[in-house]
Chains A and B, each alone.
Chain A
């Protein structure tokens, strides 16, 4: 059986259920690289350029670990999906970075998806991937529909408040998420990129850490697309990058929830290009509404204890403020 590798990084947290369903329906075996580990990250740090951001290094590590286990690596070149904004330049050059940045890599499937250029660009892309494996058109269409359905289910789970790793486990392993605390006293919103927040190794599992401290966590992935679309952010010019724009809108949404929300955390990765601007804009935007805001930047060296202390301090501060208000 042909094995297709999907690295557990970057787009994994957004489109993995769809991709897995699609390839399995076509009769291919999907191999993932599992959770990020120290060894995996070290591999990525060694291979990737020192100046690249942590998520890209993580991606290199995951791709490297799949090197001898798969026949193909699936790294689509997702340029634009909403006809307006594109993805970060690193995503646009991702297949090329993997292909030319490391030696002896398996063949990369780098189908280009740009909804600005053609109608039904997403379907066309999936169709051409199916054709690559010489599958019958009926089968490809069927697989595509199935994949779309799974993706819809996935998004419904996210909307209900599950985080991406939990939702993926629920869909494919039928594993119910175990809730660490039933209902906490505080409500936090975490904004940032899904591949930073939900990679439990590089984010030192910030979501569950907060839950254990008695905080209910909502991330930007839990908000509905319509809700995000309605938010207006004041930057004077449309942001170019989809994930950054989403983060700004999510921050805007959270900052309007003064009654329901006690704190906002922006999680960013060291050396992230777009975030250097996003963070500044969130700060400008947030200055007036009075919800406590913290920005945490993580990198390949960030330690459990350091982040833990900062989170605890932040939670304590919010608690104290809440008590004094009552």
Chain B
């Protein structure tokens, strides 16, 4: 019996589970990455491989234990390392004696046949093409709903009067979306969930800082890997805007570039005219856009030894100076501790607050 699994990335698993179930697969849900996941992953991966590779390795090993034997994941065409990770994972897993099948989705714009073949492989229910498109559309709507809910929590959390209320409500309403199946139900559940989130008592008087988050996609989207930085910032009274969501990224990489994608590229042009893979150029472009929109600061998240982000970080020193915007970088790996990160964040927030006060009193 084929049991399918996939990488854990934020709340997106709810969508993938639904989609794969619809196509007739038995799904093994990947557990949320934990200490155990990391330990497993670190054991079997090269030391200097980046953080996502290690987490994914751990996740795969955990799901293998739970009986999974097919892994669905994404590929890539470089020059970022992540494009080769699926092959490396496969080699390591085979070397460890796991008999698994790896289904790797390459960008369909470049490899249309790979895409069709993969969909065919994942379709034991033998749905018609029309039905498959219907399923994908529905899954897409759900993904959007999940992203919208997350965005809402970023705005509400710094203003909540009762600490922890947003996180609690968010967890509750996620289940509503999770249970929704038809498109109508998803839309309804999303609306109800947003209403519920907006009902959280808020303090409009509070001075709220605005911070943009840029960086590498996996550590941005998986809260377990960035030690819930958005929640920590929200509790410190900071409204977070993340530069990347799964829906936006998927659109940029599958269909065609979005307007946002284009402007980011333009903004980064004077500093980095070359695509360096990963999200190096996006980090620079988004930082500039945030600065132009008068944000109070930018936080860059990157896995340890991530090449594109190192290039971006080197250039960001100039951007930060030219646009007068503070930038704080976290290179994350299995050694990063939550307390250390919280301390650095508190100091950063204090600095931004002081700067904002000075500007307000000066003008």
CB nearest to A236 among chain B residues: B87
| Smallest CB separation, A23 vs chain B (Å) | 24
Which residue of B80, B88, B317 contacts A89 across the interface (Cβ within 8 Å)? B80
B276 in contact with A89 (CB, 8 Å): yes
The CA of A90 and the CA of B306, in the complex, are separated in Å by 10
| Smallest CB separation, B43 vs chain A (Å) | 13
The CA of A277 and the CA of B81, in the complex, are separated in Å by 8
Interface string of B87-118 (1 = CB under 8 A from A): 11011100100000000000000000000000
Q: Is A77 an interface residue (CB 8 A)?
A: yes
Which residue of A79, A92, A236, A275 contacts B48 across the interface (Cβ within 8 Å)? A275
Binds B, one of A35-43, A93-101, A257-265, A316-324: A93-101
A271 in contact with B48 (CB, 8 Å): yes
A51 in contact with B304 (CB, 8 Å): yes
CB nearest to B85 among chain A residues: A277
Contacts of A270 in B (CB 8 A): 48
Q: Which one of A270, A277, A280 has the highest number of Cβ atoms from chain B below 10 Å of its Cβ? A: A277
Contacts of B49 in A (CB 8 A): 276-277, 280
| Smallest CB separation, A214 vs chain B (Å) | 32
B314 in contact with A235 (CB, 8 Å): no
A273 in contact with B317 (CB, 8 Å): no
The CA of A240 and the CA of B48, in the complex, are separated in Å by 18
A51 in contact with B310 (CB, 8 Å): yes
Q: How many contacts between A and B, using CB within 8 angstroms? A: 122
CB contact list, A107-143 vs B, under 8 A: 112
Contacts of B262 in A (CB 8 A): none
Q: Is B83 an interface residue (CB 8 A)?
A: yes
CB nearest to B106 among chain A residues: A237
The CA of A112 and the CA of B273, in the complex, are separated in Å by 10
The CA of A236 and the CA of B94, in the complex, are separated in Å by 13
> How many of chain B's residues have a CB under 8 angstroms from any CB in A?
43
Contacts of B277 in A (CB 8 A): 89, 92, 240
Given contacts A240-B78, A276-B47, A281-B88, contact A96 B272 (CB under 8 A): yes
CB contact list, A182-207 vs B, under 8 A: none
Contacts of B48 in A (CB 8 A): 270-273, 275-276
The CA of A250 and the CA of B81, in the complex, are separated in Å by 20
Q: Which one of B47, B78, B87, B319 has the highest number of Cβ atoms from chain A below 10 Å of its Cβ? A: B78
Which residue of B88, B92, B272 contacts A93 across the interface (Cβ within 8 Å)? B272
Q: Which one of A100, A101, A241 has the highest number of Cβ atoms from chain B below 10 Å of its Cβ? A: A100
CB within 8 Å of B: which residues of A? 48-49, 51-53, 56, 77, 79, 86-90, 92-93, 96-97, 100-101, 112, 235-237, 239-241, 270-277, 279-281, 284
13 contacts between A and B (CB under 8 A): A51-B305, A89-B277, A89-B308, A92-B274, A97-B315, A100-B317, A236-B87, A271-B48, A273-B305, A277-B88, A279-B46, A281-B88, A284-B91
CB within 8 Å of A: which residues of B? 46-50, 75, 77-81, 83-84, 87-88, 90-92, 95, 271-278, 280, 304-308, 310-315, 317-319, 331
11 further contact pairs, Cβ within 8 A, besides A90-B311, A280-B49: A92-B274, A96-B272, A96-B315, A100-B319, A236-B90, A236-B91, A273-B306, A277-B88, A280-B91, A280-B92, A281-B88
